[in-house]
Amino acid sequence: EHAGIDPTTVTLVEGHGTGTPVGDAIELTALKNVLGEGAARESNPQRERVAVGSIKSQIGHLKSVAGCAGMMKVILALKHKTIPRSINVKEPPKMKDGATIQETAIFVNTKMRPWFTPPGMPRRAGVSSFGFGGANYHCVLEEYEPEHDGS
């Protein structure tokens, strides 16, 4: 809401994703509630439309610069128009309400794939980082597409 965008237009989220069963279940449930339930689900009922991942699966936890590493990953994903894969995820945790990730609009992307969006909709991604002492940081990144003047 603060970013001024419709949650159904976000197709990638770089989560904090520490790999802890409780923390990941809470984060995935929050993402499900914002990106795939209520008004978001009514306006776009398609399943598996929001890829979620965490740079920590590739490089570990970087403590105070973990959010920066996640942001760099998303910037590169936007530049290359690809959804990066997450490794070392065999079975994502269940949501806090007991639902499985397969029952939601989010999915853990386990292979590199092209990042397609509907015509006229830019690629958009969210980045979350939860810091020491309870500080929570979230941002939305969008690809830059230069205007075409027809020449």
Residue predicted with more confidence, 76 or 45: 76
Residue 133: what pLDDT?
Answer: 67
Per residue in 87-132, pLDDT (tens digit) is 888 888 788 888 888 888 888 888 999 999 888 889 999 998 876 6
What's the angle, vertex CA 139, arms to CA 20 and CA 57, rounded to 5? 30
Per residue in 46-68, pLDDT (tens digit) is 655 799 998 888 887 777 778 88
The count of other CB atoms within 10 Å of the CB of residue 78 is: 19
Q: pTM for the complete prediction? A: 0.84
Per residue in 124-136, pLDDT (tens digit) is 999 988 766 667 7
Residue 41: what pLDDT?
Answer: 60
| 8 Å CB contact between 71 and 122 | no
Residue 42: what pLDDT?
Answer: 64
Residue predicted with more confidence, 39 or 143: 143
**Residue 79 main-chain phi, psi, to 5 deg:** -60, -45
- Write the DSSP string, 30-41: HHHHHHSSTHHH
**Full strand arrangement of the beta sheet holding 12-14:** 106-108, 50-53, 12-14, 124-130, 136-142
Percent share of the chain, pLDDT over 90:
23
